Amino acid sequence: MKEIIHRLTNHENLDEIESRDILIEISSGKYNNEQIASFLTIFMMRGITSEEIIGFQSALLELCVKIDFKDFQTIDLCGTGGDNKNTFNISTLASFVTAGAGIHVAKHGNYSVSSACGSSNLLEYFGIKFSNDSNFLNNCLDKANICILHAPLFHPAMKNVAPVRKALGVKTFFNILGPLVNPCRPNFQLVGVYGLDVFRLYKSVYEKTTELRYSLVHSLDGYDEISLTSETKVALNNKEFLLKPSDLDFKEISPDKIFGGNSVKEAAKIFYDILNLDGTKEQTNVVLANSALAISTAKGVDLNHACDLARDSLLGKKALNSFNKLIGLSK
């Protein structure tokens, strides 16, 4: 590790194989917390290359608990986090709206590191079961159109890194890595990222490594989702464009309209209110916008039609039905 840290501080890059090998060594417990913290901190200061990310991705997918959803075409909706915006759980809500639209969602998530409430904090609050049992997860997909892949159950090798990330309390390259290591290898993916540099990095990684159909988003005022607070940069497999709120017949909103609360309890109330159609117009529209892009990605339909499907799922309480079914299956 000393040699690696010395090279990195001298602005050298690791190739894919070196990156893979060092992460496997970290996962095996070869290094102490201080060494791991130094390693993570260097990347926070100097950035990370697509080759390094691909190597880290390769290591985690090699070490993870594999899960097979061969009977389903799945999509994952997630963000890197780390935007320090503390919004409500938009991608988690959009996951249930997407499931309510008849699309199978394999939601990969974790506890929050840098905000009040991550997807796993929220879903655990509602009593949703976390499991890596294949039969249970396939049954959830079959009955509720959605299953939850709680990252620590699928990436046990990361137990050596988790306390260091928690102690640091800021975004690290693991925020970037999270959406890239869904253990089921979904067919489609909607990913939000917190910066234009990460947007370009993801685009490069996707172009080099994946055949899945994806949508990549970054709100130009810093959100890792379609926030409707400004224009959003969107990249698909074959094009890039700027999405304005008006493109989906929505109005631009102020950031305070999507605040997520200061606790898991407050976040859960916002989440449940929106599913029960008691959310504000602004909250509902943000969920519909993100759901529309996910549905468009999975179904290959245009965004306006996808928005109609999202609206039917949420307003018709199909999303709520999917959520309630998942809770029922968790008992």
Instruction: Give the SS3 label for residue 184.
Output: coil
Report strand pairing: 146-150 vs 188-192.
unpaired
Handedness of CA 302, 93, 288, 171 (dihedral sign): negative
Residue 199 lies in a domain: yes
Residues 138 and 247 in one domain: yes
Residues 200 and 299 in one domain: yes
Beta strands in the chain (DSSP E): 74-79, 104-109, 146-150, 188-192, 213-219, 232-236, 240-243
Residue 146 lies in a domain: yes
**Domain-ending residue, one of 63, 98, 116:** 63
How confident is the model at residue 27, as a pLDDT?
Answer: 92
Residues 41 and 140 in one domain: no
Residues 47-77, buried b or exposed e (16+ Cβ, 10 A)?
A: ebbbbbbbbbbbbbbebbeebebeebebbbb
Q: Which amino acid is at 312?
A: D
CB 43 within 8 A of CB 61: no
Residues 45 and 190 in one domain: no
Q: What is the pTM of this model?
A: 0.95
Residue 174 lies in a domain: no
Residue 26 lies in a domain: yes
- The predicted-structure confidence for 252-292, as pLDDT tens digits, reads as follows 999 999 999 999 999 999 999 999 999 999 999 999 999 99
Residues 297 and 244 in one domain: yes
Shortest CA distance to 39 belongs to which of 165, 158, 151?
165
Residues 279 and 324 in one domain: yes
Residue 55 lies in a domain: yes
Q: What is the pLDDT along the chain (331 residues), one digit of tens a residue?
A: 989 999 999 999 999 999 999 999 999 999 999 999 999 999 989 889 999 999 999 999 999 999 999 999 999 999 887 778 889 999 999 999 999 999 999 999 998 865 678 899 999 999 999 999 999 999 999 999 999 999 999 998 888 898 898 888 888 888 889 999 999 999 999 999 999 999 999 999 999 988 899 999 999 999 999 999 999 999 999 999 999 999 999 999 999 999 999 999 999 999 999 999 999 999 999 999 999 999 999 999 999 999 999 999 999 999 999 999 999 999 9
CA 19: distance to chain centroid? 22
**Domain of 10: which CATH number?**
1.20.970.10
Distance, in Å, from the CA atom of 53 to the CA atom of 244, rounded to the nearest integer, reads: 30
Report residue 305 as tokens. 């039609």
Q: How far is the CA of 292 from the CAs of 105, 108, 208, 226, 278, in angstroms?
A: 14, 19, 27, 10, 20
How confident is the model at residue 114, as a pLDDT?
Answer: 58
Residue 290 lies in a domain: yes
| Secondary structure letter of residue 113 according to DSSP | S
Shortest CA distance to 175 belongs to which of 308, 48, 322?
48
Residues 148 and 269 in one domain: yes
Domain span at residue 38 reads 2-63
Residues 137 and 19 in one domain: no
How confident is the model at residue 113, as a pLDDT?
Answer: 64
CB 227 within 8 A of CB 239: no
- Give the position of tokens 């109609």: 308
Residues 88 and 205 in one domain: yes
* Number of domains composing the chain: 2
How confident is the model at residue 81, as a pLDDT?
Answer: 79
